[in-house]
Amino acid sequence: MYNYELINFQTLGDERGSLIAIEEGYNAPFEIKRVYYIFDTKKGVIRGYHAHINLKQIAIAVKGSCTFVIDNGKQREEILLDNPNKGLLIEGLIWREMKDFSEDCVLLVIASEHYDETDYIRDYQKFIDKVIENDKNK
């Protein structure tokens, strides 16, 4: 089972254009402690290559598109983010890679924790070892 969910944000549009609001406890199911965005990603670049021990995140391509690869240690899935109303909620032990960024892509990420390098697993084998350890403790 994957620990991910797609959130369909409501677009509040009128004749002037569109607006999406993201609010903690309403359409973001965690306390929001950090927001960052990835842009100007060079052609062919793959980012990420890490998992988190304790982090909830929502990723949204607010402009352009990119593909999110999520890997739970058993299966890999690719999710195309190509609409500002589409949020990818990830939690738990998931290896992620982001690729196929369009030139104009702005990838917004909303996170439940402050930046903490000690929460990262940047080695794929260590990630697999952690998945096995968690399975044993279930």
If binding is defined by CB under 6 A, does position 130 make contact with ligand TYD? Answer: no
Q: Select 114 or 136, whichever has its Cβ closest to ligand TYD.
A: 114
Q: In whole angstroms, what separates CA 5 from the centre of its chain?
A: 10
Task: Give the span between the Cα atoms of 23 and 26, in whole angstroms.
Answer: 5
Interface mask toward ligand TYD for 36-55; x: CB under 6 A: x-x--------xx-x-----
CB of 49 to ligand TYD, least distance (A): 7
Q: H helices then E strands: how many in the chain?
A: 1, 10
Nearer to ligand TYD, 41 or 72 (CB): 41
Distances (CA, A) of 50 to 9, 71, 84, 97: 26, 10, 24, 7
Q: Which residues are catalytic?
A: 50
Residues of this chain that interact with ligand TYD (CB under 6 A) are: 34, 36, 38, 47-48, 50, 115
